[in-house]
Amino acid sequence: MTAEELYNPIQSNADPVVKINNLRKSFGDLHVLKNISFELNKGENLVVLGQSGCGKSVLIKCMVGLIEPDGGAIVILGENPHNLTIKDLNALRKKIGFLFQSGALYDSMTVRENLAFRFREEKEMKEAEINQLIEEALEQVGLPDTGNKMPSELSGGMRKRIGLARTIILKPEIILYDEPTTGLDPITSKEMSELILSIQKKYQCTSIIITHDIECAKLTSNKVMLLKEGLVKESGTFSALQKSSDEWVHSFLN
Amino acid sequence: MKQYKDLKKKLPERVFIVEAWIRSFLSGLALFFLFTVRFFKEWFQFPFELKEFLKQCYLLGYKSLPLIGTTGFIMGLVLTIQSRPTLAEFGAESWLPAMISVSIVREIGPVITALIAAGKVGSGIGAELASMKVTEQIDAMEVSGTNPFKYIVVTRVLAAMFMLPLLTIFNDTIAMIGSFTGVNISGDVSFTLFFTQAFAQLSFTDIFPSLIKTLFFGLAIGLISCYNGYHAGNGTEGVGKAANISVVMGSLMVFVIDFAAVQITSIFLNQ
């Protein structure tokens, strides 16, 4: 069953969880994002598709304050990350999970230490509680016996799963996925997509998934947004976009 | 802007290459200054990353002992063998331990230790941080709401600052043992006599200024390598470049600080 079929918007009258308005970003003469606008409600899965270099990753990096946009407004959970102090920004970031393309696991730490890092930095939880959360998160991603392994001992797919475990252990309200299935074989890709879907079902979180993988988009999306040359070319449900009369959109999704 | 474009057409291209180089140098200098200010600001802020600091002390200090020890021993040995004929010409062979101890403690020991640290520690930190940067590990720490600067940069710079004086003391000690070995290759001097003569000419004004300057050597090596790693460009090229610049700039700064330290010492201690 796809996310589109499962989708049942939660509190559709409530304020959107993510609100992007006329977002712009350029690198020198290269205009990567030109007036991007969209909204996302709680529990929605938005898949952002587009050719390489069209600004998909820049978009989500702007959302967590890793890249400063040139213009426009970003409102996440009622706050603009670019107007916050470092302390408030970090508080907001704790509600947002980010899965990096490569997993971005900390090389010098074991899987267990990777997952415990944020909690140990905060020094607010007891070790027993942290360990329990780690076991749950590893169980959730299907890798319960990897706690003592180093990231270098893991395969690409396992690294992404552990990256996801490190994200969900914090129980974020929003998860941003940067190409979660890139570099994986078709079977592992499908498993990863199903994992994204099961996490959405379990935690009822809002997700933005950046991908090139059409199968992943089909399986995980409630909504799809196609970017072309820094602009939103078209958006809607996956099945609606598949029937698009636009040749570029049609060829991209089919 | 129009005038600038007109000028661009008239002047040869190399002028603009120089202009771009100067601009990049000055902006790099400003960024390094801000990086240094942030280091001092975050150093005194809670929480302190004691565990990571101790881990870095082990990696930067303890792991460097074999290299520092070997270099120190050879340095003391060679210095003694090379100096002996010259002193023998003046019948001043008995001055050998004193001369070696003063030159090692005041100048050669700290500088050689710092240069080795700039090579080993500087390149290690530069490459490690750069690889963390290009694999988005630093970004991952940042988006998780933690402070990567404090965890990665402050601990490493402090460890370099703290370990360099200790490594210098270790290097000086091993170098003196090397010198003692050198003296005994073609002579027969007892351990007690050698070290009595070596320490006779040493005073606190020789030891303390040289140890204090090693704190600054450590600070410079740590800051330069962390800065280059933290601001590395993308890809493997960025990692190599960060490691390379860390070693080159770190070594250069060791000499600059040494020159400044000599001037300051001579003013305040009349040496």
What ipTM was assigned to the predicted interfaces of this complex? 0.87
- Looking at residue A14, its pLDDT comes to 65
Residue A10, domain member (yes or no): yes
* Residue of B48, B144, B151, B152 to mutate, testing the A interface (most A Cβ within 10 Å of its Cβ): B144
Across the interface, whether the CB atoms of B145 and A94 are under 8 A apart is answered: yes
Residue A136, domain member (yes or no): no
* Residue of B41, B52, B134, B136 to mutate, testing the A interface (most A Cβ within 10 Å of its Cβ): B136
In sequence order, the 6+-apart residues with CB closer than 8 A to the CB of A142 are: A161, A191, A195
* Chain B residues with beta carbon closer than 8 angstroms to that of A102: 135-136
Going A250 to A192 to A156 to B132, the CA torsion angle's sign is positive
Residue A122, domain member (yes or no): no
Q: How far apart are CA B260 and CA B213, in angstroms?
A: 9
Residue A127, domain member (yes or no): no
Q: Exposed, middle or buried by CB within 10 Å (0-12, 13-18, 19+), for B39?
A: buried
3-state secondary structure of A123: coil
Identify the bridge partners of residue A212 per DSSP, sorted by sequence position. Answer: none
Q: Of B47, B135, B151, which has the smallest distance from its Cβ to A102's Cβ?
A: B135
Do B121 and B160 form a contact (C-beta atoms < 8 A)?
A: yes
- Confirm whether pTM is higher than 0.80: yes
Residue A158, domain member (yes or no): no
* Closest chain B residue to the Cα of A167, Cα to Cα: B144
Q: How far apart are CA A117 and CA A76, in angstroms?
A: 24
- State what percent of residues in chain A have pLDDT above 70: 94
Q: How many residues does chain A have?
A: 254
For the cut 90, the answer to whether the pLDDT of residue A230 exceeds it is no
Residue A157, domain member (yes or no): no
Q: Of A90, A98, A104, which has the smallest distance from its Cβ to B137's Cβ?
A: A104
Across the interface, whether the CB atoms of A98 and B143 are under 8 A apart is answered: yes
- Looking at residue A141, its pLDDT comes to 87
* Chain A residues with beta carbon closer than 8 angstroms to that of B146: 90, 117-118, 121
Across the interface, whether the CB atoms of A104 and B135 are under 8 A apart is answered: yes
* Closest chain B residue to the Cα of A164, Cα to Cα: B140
pLDDT band at A4 (very low <50, low <70, confident <90, very high): low
Put simply, whether B200 touches A (Cβ < 8 Å) is no
Q: What tokens appear for B267 in the block? A: 């003013």
Q: Of A93, A101, A107, which has the smallest distance from its Cβ to B143's Cβ?
A: A93
Q: CA of A166, closest CA in chain B: separation in Å?
A: 9
* Chain B residues with beta carbon closer than 8 angstroms to that of A93: 142-145
Domain count, chain A: 1
Average pLDDT over residues A62-74: 92
C-alpha distance from residue B105 to each of B9, B172, B175, B193, B203 (Å): 58, 6, 9, 19, 10
Do B57 and B162 form a contact (C-beta atoms < 8 A)?
A: yes
- Looking at residue A1, its pLDDT comes to 59
**pLDDT, tens digit only, all 271 positions of chain B:** 667 667 767 777 777 788 888 998 899 999 999 999 999 999 888 778 899 999 999 999 999 999 999 999 999 999 999 998 888 888 888 888 999 999 999 999 999 999 999 999 999 999 999 999 999 999 999 998 888 999 999 999 999 999 999 999 999 999 999 999 999 987 888 889 999 988 888 888 889 999 999 999 999 999 999 999 999 987 888 899 999 999 999 999 999 999 999 999 888 876 6
Residue A39 is part of which domain span? Answer: 3-105+178-253
Phi and psi angles of residue A115, each rounded to the nearest 5 degrees, phi first: -70, -30
- Looking at residue A46, its pLDDT comes to 93
Which residue would you say has higher pLDDT here, B93 or A19? A19
**Contact pairs from chain A to chain B, CB under 8 Å:** 52
Q: CA of B115, closest CA in chain A: separation in Å?
A: 26
Residue A50, domain member (yes or no): yes
Q: CA of A106, closest CA in chain B: separation in Å?
A: 6
Q: CA of B190, closest CA in chain A: separation in Å?
A: 48
Residue A19, domain member (yes or no): yes
* Closest chain B residue to the Cα of A93, Cα to Cα: B145
Do A65 and A93 form a contact (C-beta atoms < 8 A)?
A: yes
- Looking at residue B146, its pLDDT comes to 87
Do A217 and A228 form a contact (C-beta atoms < 8 A)?
A: no
Q: Exposed, middle or buried by CB within 10 Å (0-12, 13-18, 19+), for A59?
A: buried
Put simply, whether B46 touches A (Cβ < 8 Å) is no
Q: Of A91, A93, A107, which has the smallest distance from its Cβ to B144's Cβ?
A: A93
Cis peptide before B47 (omega within 30 of 0): yes
- Looking at residue A6, its pLDDT comes to 54
A interface toward B at CB cutoff 8 Å? 61, 64, 66, 90-91, 93-94, 96, 98, 100-102, 104-107, 117-118, 121, 123, 166, 170
Give the CATH number for residue A224: 3.40.50.300
3-state secondary structure of A103: coil
pLDDT band at A13 (very low <50, low <70, confident <90, very high): low
Put simply, whether B144 touches A (Cβ < 8 Å) is yes
Average pLDDT over residues A11-21: 76
The residue among B64, B117, B159 whose CA lies nearest residue B254 is B117
- Looking at residue A142, its pLDDT comes to 87
3-state secondary structure of A48: strand
What H or E segment, with its residue span, contains residue A23? strand A18-27
- Looking at residue A130, its pLDDT comes to 93
Q: How far apart are CA A135 and CA A138, in angstroms?
A: 5
